[in-house]
């Protein structure tokens, strides 16, 4: 049978959150590529798995990708894991998976935990649509810009954040998005698992009162109750699109669609301007 690259999700805290299938696959492959061999050895030892481990992290991704592709092309199956959760989700692996796809190698996901979806499922925020945006940037200007970009999104927003930056980030959320409902999911699946729910200001007060703010955190923000109203006059919006190279009728159609107006009304507004 041709070799496959398995993308195996591992626990984000509780070692019981590893699937039976993941245990089997991790035991059957020729090699397990992981971020930190000592960290993953603890998990494999827990399950009595003695597979060969090789490191694969952001500093050796390019070199290791070639080595692992070589193994796969020679018929050896490889599993990729990260320190926690689903590989590639704010974790290394994209380079390897895209190279494997390019090389025609079968890539098999072995699903399991990811902090983003785990947090969403118990957050109490709407789950019909969500937007996972990875880690908040560490620089405030970039953080504010990112929040502004997502201001009108019709979806629950999900971010990863480090505990030492959470107070500043809550201030920025309040500054850009106001009194939205926010949920902080902390230490998911661990002994001190906690969900904090409130406005950014309320959560700031709760956390600032603690001696230390620690633990892994996923931050969820409710979508806007009333998406921001587009205040650009209709004719101007059509003009802007035409300025970007769109034909007149095409621009009228696009503006009508985005504003829920009839084409005739947009056309009339353009004619009267």
Task: Name the site residues for ligand SAM (rule: CB under 6 A).
Answer: 12-13, 82, 84-86, 89-91, 114-116, 160-162, 185-190, 216-218
Residue closer to ligand SAM (CB basis): 194 or 250 = 194
Residue nearest to ligand SAM (CB): 85
Identify the H or E element spanning 237. helix 234-243
Tokens coding 248 = 């007149």
Question: Smallest distance from the beta carbon of 14 to ligand SAM, in angstroms?
Answer: 9
Of 39 and 190, which CB lies nearer to ligand SAM in the complex structure? Answer: 190
Judged by beta carbon, residue 166 or residue 251, the one nearer ligand SAM is 166
Residue corresponding to tokens 């592709």: 69
Nearer to ligand SAM, 168 or 265 (CB): 168
Cβ of residue 216: shortest distance to ligand SAM, in angstroms? Answer: 4
Residue whose CB is less far from ligand SAM, 187 or 202: 187
SS3 10: strand
Cβ nearer to ligand SAM, comparing 171 with 187: 187
**Partners of residue 160 on adjacent β-strands:** 135, 218
Cα–Cα distance for residue pair 44/40, rounded to 1 Å: 6
Task: Count other C-beta atoms under 10 Å from residue 248's C-beta.
Answer: 13
Q: Cβ of residue 230: shortest distance to ligand SAM, in angstroms?
A: 33
CB of 169 to ligand SAM, least distance (A): 11
- Name the minimum Å distance from CB 193 to ligand SAM: 8
CB 222 to ligand SAM: min, Å: 18
CB of 111 to ligand SAM, least distance (A): 11
CA distances from 179 to 170, 182, 257 (A): 11, 9, 30
All residues at 6 or more sequence positions from 145 whose CB lies less than 8 Å from its CB, including other chains? none
Q: Which is nearer to ligand SAM, 116 or 266 (CB)?
A: 116
CB of 231 to ligand SAM, least distance (A): 36
Alpha helices by DSSP H, 108-199: 115-123, 140-149, 166-177
Phi, psi angles (nearest 5°) of residue 212: -135, 145
Q: Closer to ligand SAM by CB, 89 or 224: give it.
A: 89
Spell out the residues 6+ positions from residue 62 whose beta carbon is closer than 8 angstroms to its own.
95
Joined tokens for residue 152:
């009108």
Residue pair 224/155 in contact by the 8 Å Cβ criterion: no
Secondary structure element (H or E) that encloses residue 211, with its range: none
Helix axis angle, 234-243 to 248-259, nearest 10°: 130
């Amino acid at each position: 049978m041709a070799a496959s690259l398995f993308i195996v999700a591992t626990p984000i805290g509780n070692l019981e959150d590893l699937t039976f299938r993941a245990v089997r696959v991790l035991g059957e492959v020729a090699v397990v590529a992981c971020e930190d061999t000592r960290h993953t050895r603890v998990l494999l030892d827990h399950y009595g798995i003695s597979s060969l481990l090789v490191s694969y992290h952001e500093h050796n991704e390019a070199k290791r990708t070639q080595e692992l592709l070589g193994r796969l092309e020679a018929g050896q199956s490889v599993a990729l894991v990260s320190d926690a959760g689903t590989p590639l989700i704010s974790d290394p692996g994209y380079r390897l998976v895209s190279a494997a796809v390019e090389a025609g190698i079968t890539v098999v996901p072995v699903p399991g935990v990811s902090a983003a979806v785990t947090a969403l499922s118990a957050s109490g925020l709407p789950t019909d649509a969500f937007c996972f945006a990875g880690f908040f940037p560490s620089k405030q200007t970039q953080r504010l810009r990112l929040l502004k970009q997502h201001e009108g999104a019709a979806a629950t927003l999900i971010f990863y954040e480090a505990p030492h930056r959470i107070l500043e980030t809550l201030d920025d959320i309040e500054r850009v998005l106001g009194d939205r409902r926010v949920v902080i999911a902390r230490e998911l699946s661990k002994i001190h698992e906690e969900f904090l729910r409130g406005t950014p200001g309320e959560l700031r007060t709760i956390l600032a009162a603690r001696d230390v703010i620690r633990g892994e955190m996923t931050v969820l923000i409710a979508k806007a109750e009333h998406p921001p109203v587009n205040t650009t006059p209709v004719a101007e919006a059509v003009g802007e699109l035409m300025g970007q190279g769109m034909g007149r009728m095409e621009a009228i159609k696009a503006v009508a669609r985005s504003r829920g107006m009839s084409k005739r009304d947009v056309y009339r507004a353009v004619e009267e301007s």
